[in-house]
Amino acid sequence: MEDVVSIDGPIGSGKSSVAFELSRLLGWTCISTGLMYRAVALKVRDVERRERAAAACEAARTSRFTFSSAHGSLRLHVDDVDVTDDISDPVVLPLTSEVAQDPDLRALLLRRQRELARSRPSVVEGRDANTLIVPDARWKFFLDAPPEVRYRRLHDVHLLSTDSALGYADFVRGMRLVDERDRSRLDESRRLADVIHHENFAGLSASQDAMILYYYICRPAEIRRNSSILRTMAVPTDTS
């Protein structure tokens, strides 16, 4: 797909914020696959547990998902209703994890995500964006950051979003389990021959990181030229 960018990477790597800023630079739509799962979870929040899986699949099949930009942030509308603030409620997160385990729901949302990406120029971010959602994207990026940077960033968000905040040590233990669970799929995405790697050390803002990705897309000749200059300027290692 010529007018599609995909962004993958581990939890806390900055995928969402960088993807949104990149979409603004390009004038394209940003598609957050994770927000779609949250929206489905919100729809079935009051459904009895034994009926929740079927209700979630029905919501994924029949709902109309629309992404937009407003007031400097990404907004998601479901059936013309802005649900962005509602799906940010911490109580939605455990339910999202629950419904996301259903392979039927994942298959349905995968199809919807592909439909959205093909309908207009898009920046698609989320787990498996490079390998499953839009494997034929024209540009594929893999964002990463050292674990301590990712964990600290996520813990700061955690402290702001819940009243029963975990201490940092306990939080890190949970995040390490997430990293271990995601290791194989991330390794597959990371090893793709056409993926572009970008390391986010938290020294740059999301806008600055997005600008680097923008140059890879719109000014590749400058990227190659500057990389060549930097290599020739490198100080040789003393092997004597």
Q: How far is CA 178 from CA 147, 172, 187, 188, in A?
A: 12, 10, 14, 16
Which domains, ranges and CATH numbers included, belong to the chain?
1-28+122-217 (3.40.50.300), 32-120 (3.40.50.300)
pLDDT digits 0-9 by tens, 184-240: 989 999 999 999 999 876 678 899 999 999 999 998 888 777 765 655 555 455 544
Q: How far apart are CA 100 and CA 61, in angstroms?
A: 14
For the whole model, what pTM was predicted? 0.86
Residues of the chain with pLDDT under 50: 235, 239-240
What local confidence, expressed as pLDDT, does residue 78 receive?
98
Angle CA 75–79–84, to nearest 5: 25
pLDDT at 136: 95
